């Protein structure tokens, strides 16, 4: 039965294999009724709903499913499907902030973004710094989860250095900072340790300070506002779209 509210313009994502497609439509039926038209639906309060298509399904079958639902208004001569291309992302973080990093990683993957997260993707049998250097070259952008822990991490500083070198070589922004505390902004050069690496570390810190950072300071591993998190993730994802 139709619900009594005005049609709302929304976008949902469909995942098939490694591809990500977006379907845009207007609806004035309860969204869960639309969801029931598709197989293998994974419902998520965090991201409205995600439609997951079986490998045996195809776009034409999907169109037919939506066509059977009378109050879906198709855009652009039927179902409007647009491929969205994103930059791939290397996530640099301290293991002490692992829960936040994993949540961000899962969120980016839900949008079809290719990511590298050390605890999940690092290959065995290779030298640690070799993995870092190679993957930073391979992936388009470096998402730096900025915290007191990551700023003080030798590994994270090495990753920052490599990202800066990549920026200098390409003449384009590679670093995408996302801060979960304000340690970076309160840090002074004379406080940086170890002293023998102060100049190098401070150059990394200065570069981070010069780039607009996504504010996730509201995050708490025990309790936080999921709606705010999702809104900020969507904004972050939008900035990762290829032009």
Handedness of CA 65, 68, 73, 77 (dihedral sign): positive
Report the DSSP pairing between strands 89-92 and 141-146: parallel
The Cα 121–Cα 134 span in angstroms is 13
pLDDT in tens, the chain (243 residues): 333 323 333 334 333 333 333 444 433 333 444 444 443 433 333 333 333 333 344 445 555 555 544 333 332 223 333 468 999 999 999 999 999 999 999 999 988 899 999 999 999 999 999 999 999 999 999 999 999 999 999 999 999 999 999 999 999 999 999 999 999 999 999 999 999 999 999 999 999 999 999 999 998 766 777 888 999 999 999 999 997
Residue 193: Cβ-neighbour burial (10 angstroms; 0-12, 13-18, 19+): exposed
Beta-bridged to residue 192, according to DSSP, are: none
The Cα 67–Cα 65 span in angstroms is 5
- The reported pLDDT for the residue numbered 11 is 38
Domains of the chain: 8-83 (no CATH), 89-239 (3.40.50.10140)
Tell me if 111 sits within 8 A of 19, measured CB to CB: no
- The reported pLDDT for the residue numbered 211 is 96
- The reported pLDDT for the residue numbered 60 is 53
Q: 226-230 — which CB contacts under 8 Å span 24+ positions?
A: 226/45, 226/46, 229/46, 229/103, 229/107, 230/46, 230/47, 230/107
- The reported pLDDT for the residue numbered 99 is 94
- The reported pLDDT for the residue numbered 243 is 78
């Amino acid at each position: 039965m139709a619900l009594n509210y005005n049609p709302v313009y929304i976008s949902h994502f469909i995942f098939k294999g490694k591809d990500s497609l977006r379907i845009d439509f207007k609806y004035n039926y309860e969204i869960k009724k639309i969801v029931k038209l598709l197989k293998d639906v994974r419902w998520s309060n965090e991201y409205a709903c995600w439609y997951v298509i079986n490998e045996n399904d195809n776009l034409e079958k999907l169109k037919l499913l939506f066509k059977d639902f009378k109050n879906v208004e198709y855009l652009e001569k039927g179902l409007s499907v647009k491929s969205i291309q994103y930059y791939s992302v290397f996530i640099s973080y301290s293991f002490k902030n692992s829960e936040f990093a994993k949540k961000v990683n899962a969120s980016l993957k839900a949008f079809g973004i290719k990511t590298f997260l050390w605890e999940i993707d690092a290959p065995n049998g290779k030298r640690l710094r070799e993995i870092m250097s190679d993957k930073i070259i391979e992936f388009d952008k470096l998402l730096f989860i900025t915290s007191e822990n990551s700023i003080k991490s030798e590994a994270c500083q090495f990753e920052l250095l490599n990202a800066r070198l990549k920026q200098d070589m390409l003449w384009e922004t590679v670093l995408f900072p996302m801060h979960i505390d304000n340690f970076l902004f309160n840090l002074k050069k004379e406080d940086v340790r170890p002293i023998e690496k102060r100049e190098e570390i401070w150059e990394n810190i200065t570069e981070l300070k010069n780039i607009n950072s996504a504010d996730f300071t509201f995050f708490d591993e025990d309790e936080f506002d999921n709606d705010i998190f999702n809104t900020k993730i969507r904004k972050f994802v939008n900035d990762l779209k290829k032009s």
